[in-house]
Amino acid sequence: MSTEYTVTETLDVKGESCPMPVVKTKQAIDSLNEGDVLEVLATDSGSVSDIAGWAETTDGVELLDQQEDGDVFKHYVRRTE
């Protein structure tokens, strides 16, 4: 696992289901500065593909990593602009 980033803020969307993890991730990323990294904690397995797809189609964000930790899915998203 790459540790070349420092988490700036953590967003807890555990218990939320689609589309809320992506909606709240977008809101949180919008409030961060360029280069900041958002850690998203989710329990919805659909968030893995949802957040990956959102990051891929959204300018200014980069999906750094996704991990499964028990029943929690961790997503790391960097604001790039």
Catalytic residue among 17, 18, 35, 67: 18
Task: Determine the average pLDDT of the residues in 52-77.
Answer: 97
Q: Is 74 in a helix, a strand, or coil?
A: strand
pTM for this entry: 0.93
Q: pLDDT tens digits for 11-35?
A: 999 999 999 999 999 999 999 999 9
Confidence of residue 42 (pLDDT cuts 50, 70, 90): very high
Q: Is 17 in a helix, a strand, or coil?
A: coil
Q: Percent of the chain having pLDDT more than 70?
A: 96
Q: Is 18 a catalytic residue?
A: yes
Where does residue 70 fall: left (phi above 0), alpha (psi -120 to 50 degrees), or beta otherwise? left
Sole residue written with tokens 């700036």: 8
